A and B are shown apart, each in its own frame.
Chain A
Amino acid sequence: MIRGASSRAISVGAALLLSLSSAACTAVATRSYDLPIEQVDVAAREAVVRAGYPGTGLNAQRTLLFGFFIGDGGEQIRVELVPAGSRTDVKITSEKQFAGFLAQQHYANEIAAYLDQYIQENKPLWERAVSTPVAQP
């Protein structure tokens, strides 16, 4: 009797965990900028590094770390840049992984916000990078 109840509890728990994990495995954020792909590409790579992803690629996974109570990392990110005439469309996909799932979070919205910030910040820098040296008062 007790054995049957405990196995039922285990299977209910497992089903709950499975449904929780499959409920929000992926998050997507999109953006579109009136800029050439080269400029959006640099800002997108900066945004990915800003969120703590290693390397400077547009596909990356946060390093998995062991903590005292709870670990961190493992989330995967994929940034796709699609040129559309003079504009560039951006699709940011964040995926949680099974290992360390409960401690993971989606970074798609954070990266989209950082991307907005770096697009604005880099606009005057692009002009300065190709022009002759300037003096600042």
Chain B
Amino acid sequence: MLSILKKAPWLLVAATLACTTYTGGNFPLQPAQQRRAATSADSVQLVQGPVDRTYVVVGKVHAHGRCNWFFGFTGCGDEQMQKLLREEAARLGATAIIDIRSGSFSRFEWSDVHLHGTAIAY
């Protein structure tokens, strides 16, 4: 019993660290017959600025993270959020993501971080 009490702070920290959630979504804009096969998430490029090649819009992609201010500092980082965005785009058969925008809001000890963009295929 005493050993559990001694470990209590660490258990609390571990529980709160676990309170970082990631959710994502992909929304195809193409008609069903034009949809593409999934691609690899590693091959999806994040493009800032204008695109100088021909492309077709495949859909919209979102990545959302919720972290705790005190213990969630390891979560909701740029890398993790971009990885999630790439995975969602790959499911749509995209080769790149353009018009990437971010947003966030905070309440009490919680922060919500959001990225969304337009998935395209060259």
Contacts and interface: CB of A to CB of B under 8 A. Distances in A.
Interface of A: 42, 45-46, 49-50, 52-56, 63, 65-70, 72-73, 103, 105, 118, 122, 125-126, 128-137
Contacts of B54: 133-135
Most buried by A among B29, B31, B55: B29
A67 B68 contact: yes
Nearest to B101: A121
Contacts of B114: 50, 52
Q: How large is the interface on B (under 10, 10 to 19, 20 to 34, 35 or more residues)?
A: 35 or more
A90 to B, nearest CB: 16
Contacts, number: 105
Interface string B50-70: 111111111110101010101
Contacts of B26: 56
A136 B16 contact: no
Contact of A52 (B12, B29, B64): B64
B40 interface: no
Contacts of B21: 54, 63, 65
B66 A70 contact: no
A42 to B, nearest CB: 5
17 contacts: A46-B27, A49-B64, A56-B26, A65-B21, A67-B16, A69-B109, A70-B108, A118-B60, A122-B29, A122-B60, A125-B118, A129-B57, A129-B59, A133-B56, A135-B53, A136-B52, A137-B52
B30 A130 contact: yes
Given A67-B108, A125-B57, A134-B54, A46 B62 contact: yes
Given A50-B116, A136-B51, A45 B25 contact: yes
